[in-house]
Amino acid sequence: MAWFTCVKRKVAGLNALLCVGKRENSHFLRHLNRNVSVKTLGTLRTAQVSFINLNFPKQESYTAAHAMETKDAAVEEDSCDTDSTVRTNCGKRKNEETDEAAKRDSRKKHKKKCVKQLRPGERHVPPPQKRNTGVSFSREHFEETSYYFEGGLRKVYPYYFDFTTYCKGRWVGKTLLEVFKSEFRAESLDYYNKAVKEGRIKLNETPVDDLNLILKNNDFMRNTVHRHEPPVTGRPLEVLVDDGEVVVVDKPASLPVHPCGRYRHNTVIFILGKEKGLSGLHTVHRLDRLTSGVLLFARTLEVSKKLDAMVRERQLEKEYVCRVEGEFPEGEVVCEEPILVVSFRVGLCRVDPKGKESRTVFQRLSYNGHSSVVRCLPLTGRTHQIRVHLQFLGFPILNDPIYGSSAWGPNRAKGGLVGMSDEELLEALIEEHRSKESLHLLDLPDEEVSGKQLAKKEYSDGAQEHNDQINAPESSGVACDDNSCKLTQEEVKAEGSQELHKSTSAAETEGEINGDEASRTAKSNTFIRDNLCGECKIVRPDPMEKDLIMYLHALRYKGPDFEYSTQMPDWAKEDWLQD
């Protein structure tokens, strides 16, 4: 019969019991984290041994220990039942529980002692909160404001909105005044001073009372603005397919796919959520704001990953149709010129040997004596690929505000001949649209076209979040709730005979013309005016059709086991003539 000995040994201030046994000339080791009396297997005799130095061979018999595991467990259980004065709950000693509690208390006290003591006048910055990995929109976002239809356009009632961001590394050590002056130039410093007085600028959720406050790392900034959105076409957003896995829509021209820049509610994502009850969609691909046609969304993350894999492996076929200036050659035309991005800010590209490999196949469908309808098959997926290749061939798309611009020179970069640097080209393009008062067609940052620079700037930095609408500050003279926004009597009197109200009957009339969506979404029938908002003081003419459409349409989207398509647009008919 094997005899077992329990040895208590103190190592580096920790208690461990080493149970040593000998079985068929093999040694094995057991660790028990407590003082116990251990019975031998053969008798009830208790051996009490303390502080004995033992030298064990490095290679211990794991097999023997494993073989005895069942018996040891039985011994341990028996010991728990009979030696209750030493153990509690068969797993922890009373003195060990006391030690653990003491350690926890010690750690708490240590943390309290480690809290940094702020010097007089020093500002505490709370640690950053966990950020969302993506942007998701829900009913509370969709109800920030509502639509109304006027003159064939979809319009958004102005609303109050919070733009938020954490302090950038380049801002640390600078004052709020310096940051606003250097990076958010859309508004004057006078505006920001007034916004501070009205409590619209907050730092770490505390209203700022002095723009000379120095920014620190992890500072959380919140700017409340009165937001205006440009109008878009009033044509309905048609859902072609909704089978539980994908949602396919026929996107009208002028609508961005998702919130960006000055657009939020006038986007495909928000219209689907507000009018169709479709939310949580995953974007599979995108179309330019001025491009119309087939747009595909995935219902679930699993489907989204599957479609993304198809895109990477080039298993998806995309077919476009466009109308170009002049008589396009008959037969198949292939363009394989590499494309280089000149400006991410504008989305400006050009043909350049240093660019990425690109390939597009073109075929003329018709010619009406002035312009041609061309079928386009992009075999690669570069930014503005079809537009850049058609410009290179000398046949820019009609109404293309970038690649059809005269800023490229008399030949408009036909054959890749530009004759100026990228910086000069970008400046010439901006200047041309500035002179025509059409900078909005370039989707430039807000300092170029007026509006809230904080909004646009933070989108470009990738740090902008979408937060809930808040009520207007009391000092602004207006107040908003979920259902309507009304002017105070003082403002109504001050405006005199100006048209401040959109009547309910007018909204209902537009609803009869444009469909049920108009009457369902035109909940607010009052135009909000804000005393700090520069856009409220400007009367902008409604855009014309040529400002809302580029003659490029995504006709078909085809995969290994699916195909989605739309009807040919009216402007693709052979006898169509531009007004």
- Active-site residue numbers? 288
Residue 523 contacts residue 531 (beta carbons within 8 Å): no
Classify residue 197 by burial, with Cβ atoms within 10 Å: 0-12, 13-18, 19+. Answer: middle
Output the six-digit token pair for 259. 């919130």
Helix or strand or coil: residue 268?
A: helix
533-540, long-range: CB < 8 A, 24+ apart? 533/158, 533/225, 533/226, 533/228, 534/187, 534/191, 534/450, 535/158, 535/226, 535/228, 535/450, 535/451, 536/158, 536/226, 536/228, 538/450
Closest C-alpha among 351, 291, 289, 346 to residue 323: 291
CA atoms lying within 13 Å on the CB side of residue 163: 24
| Residues 6+ positions from 360 with CB-CB distance below 8 Å | 334, 335, 376, 377, 378, 379, 380, 385, 386, 389
H or E element in which residue 387 lies: helix 385-393
The burial class, CB within 10 Å (0-12 / 13-18 / 19+), for 358 is buried
How many whole angstroms separate alpha carbon 329 and alpha carbon 395? 10
Q: Quick one: which H or E segment has residue 316?
A: none
How far apart CA 137 and CA 528 sit, in angstroms, is 24
Q: Which of 25, 38, 32, 33 is nearest to 64 (CA)?
A: 25
User: Where would I find the H helices in 127-256?
Assistant: 139-142, 176-183, 189-197
Nearest to 220 by CA among 202, 239, 208: 202
Measured between alpha carbons, how far is 26 from 274 in angstroms, rounded to an integer?
76
Closest to 361 (Cα-Cα) out of 388, 384, 334: 334
**Would you say 213 and 175 are in contact if contact means Cβ atoms under 8 Å apart?**
yes
Q: How far from the centroid of its chain's Cα atoms is residue 240's Cα?
A: 26
Q: What is the DSSP letter of 415?
A: G
From residue 174, how far is each of 108, 171, 213, 215 by CA, in Å? Answer: 35, 5, 8, 6
CA terminus-to-terminus distance, the chain: 108
Pairing state between β 4-11 and 49-50: parallel
The pair of structure tokens assigned to 4 is 């077992």
C-alpha torsion sign, points 392, 398, 400, 406: positive
Residue 574, phi then psi, degrees to nearest 5:
-65, -35
Distance between CA atoms of 470 and 390, rounded to whole angstroms? 46
